[in-house]
Amino acid sequence: MPELDCWQPPDSIFISQKLFSARGQQIFFALFFVAIAGFYLAFTAYFENQEAWQLETGAVIVFTVFGILGLRFPVALIIGYSLHGIWDIVHEIHAFGGVSPFGAGKMTELPLAYGVFCAAFDWCVAGYFYTRRRDWNAAWKAHGH
């Protein structure tokens, strides 16, 4: 009987491997990280939660720093995406479990299961980045940067 492989990496990994060099793939995921961090500001605006702006903006700034550092250092992407997965789960628990670690109304609401889906994505790609970190570092050294 053939062995079943239940883990299927996100399509973004396969697509980025086809489109980009090792260095280009790292840059793509670093810039993508900045964009996905900003989604929480979109949810804050959509759900009209005035109390959440300060916390959500602070988190976007922190994750943006990880994304910028990740343009050159793979470890920043590994740590950043891993932490963002935790941030996603904390939001999911807040939105649908009624537990609010920062106080009532301080975090934005989410669409159902958004946090779980995003955490799974974040942790999958962080694991992938761990496997690619040597290739990405070598690509930068090969270009003399």
pLDDT tens digit string along 70-114? 999 999 999 999 999 999 999 999 888 888 888 777 888 888 889
Least confident of 54-63, 85-94, 95-104, 117-126: 95-104
Joined together, the tokens standing for residue 52 give: 């959440």
For 102, the token pair is 């920062």
Query: Which structural domain range is residue 53 located in?
Result: 22-135
Residue 144 has pLDDT above 90, yes or no: no
| Whether residue 4 has pLDDT greater than 80 | no
- Report the alpha-carbon distance of residue 107 to residue 113 in Å, rounded: 16
**Total structural domains within the chain:** 1
Report the pLDDT averaged over residues 53-74: 96
Assigned domain for 53 exists: yes
The reply to whether 145 falls in a domain is no
User: Residues 93, 25: contact at Cβ < 8 Å?
Assistant: no
CA-to-CA distance for 76 and 88, rounded, in angstroms? 18
pLDDT at 69: 97
**Size (the chain), residues:** 145
- CA–CA separation, 94 and 56 (whole Å): 13
Question: Is residue 52 domain-resident?
Answer: yes
* Within-domain flag for 126: yes
